[in-house]
Amino acid sequence: MSENLVRLEVADGVGTIRLDRPPMNALDAAMQDGLLAAAAEVTERRDVRAVVVYGGEKVFAAGADIKEMARWSYTDMVDRSVALQAAFTAIARIPKPTVAAVTGYALGGGCELTLACDLRFVAADAKLGQPEILLGLIPGAGGTQRLARLVGPSKAKDLIFTGRMVGADEALAIGLVDRVVPAGEDVYAAAVAWAAKFASGPAYALRAAKEAIDRGLSTDLDTGLELERQQFAGLFATDDRTTGMRSFIENGPGKAAFEGR
C-alpha cells in the first residue's frame, strides 16, 4: 500500500491505518494515495468494524510535503488537488466509527486528516493547527469546511487566519478534540479501546447513524429528518434489529450479541 507508507493493521475487529513516513509523516502524493487505498480496504472488509488513524509514538503528521509542493505549477495543483481532497473525503466516508490517535504534531494536512475522523484523541503534549496561511495558502484538504463545522466559524477563522498552533487543552476547550490522554498514558491504546466497543456492535445501525449525522449536517433540517427517517426504517430489514429487540425483551438492555447483519 503505497510502498508501506500507509499500512492497514487489523486486530479484534479494529483496523489501524498507520502512517509511516519518518520523521514527520509528511503527507506527500504517495501518502495521499495510500490513505485512499486504506479507506477503500477498511470499507470493504467485514472483519474491520471500527478504525483508528495513527501516526506512531512521536508524531501524527506535520503537514504536507512542502518540498514536493513547491515544485508544482498551478496546473499541477489543479490536477493534484482533486486527488488530495479525495483521499481525505474517503477517510471521512468510511462507514464505520473512526478515531484519530494524535501524538506530537497534527498540522496542516495532518490536522485535516484528524478532522476527517469521527473523534480525535490526543496526547497531552500534542499540537494542532492549520498553518497554511504562513505559506501564503489556505487549507486545501477540507480544513476551511470541516474545521468550521466542528468548532464554529469564528474559532476556525482565528486558527486559519493566524496559522497558530494550539495545545491539547485549548483544543479540547474549543471542541477541536474529544479527549486528552494524560502524559505517561498511551493515546493509541485509548483510541483502540474506544474503537473496540464497536467490534461486536450492530454494524449497519452504526453506519446508518454516521450517514444520517454527516449527510444531515450538509443540508436543511427537514431534509436531514427525512434522511434519518429513511435510515431508521431501513434498519428494520436487518438481523441485528431483530436480535436487539428480542434481547431487550428477554434479557433487558445492552445484552444483545450482534452479528453485523
As annotated, the active-site residues are: 64, 109, 112, 132
Sheet holding 105-107, edge to edge: 105-107, 127-129, 165-167
Provide the sign of the torsion angle of the four alpha carbons 210, 211, 217, 221, taken in this order: negative
- Taking the C-alpha atoms of residue 106 and residue 25, their distance in angstroms, rounded to an integer, is 10
Helix, strand, or coil here: 26?
Answer: coil
Please work out, in degrees rounded to the nearest 5, the angle formed at the alpha carbon of residue 41 by the alpha carbons of 189 and 128: 45
CA atoms within 13 A on the CB side of 164: 11
Q: Which amino acid is at 9?
A: E
Decide: 214 and 233 in contact? Cβ < 8 Å.
no
Q: Taking Cα atoms as reference points, which of 215, 6, 1 lies closest to residue 113? A: 6
Query: In terms of C-beta density within 10 A (0-12 exposed, 13-18 middle, 19 or more buried), how is residue 86 classed?
Result: middle
Decide: 127 and 165 in contact? Cβ < 8 Å.
yes
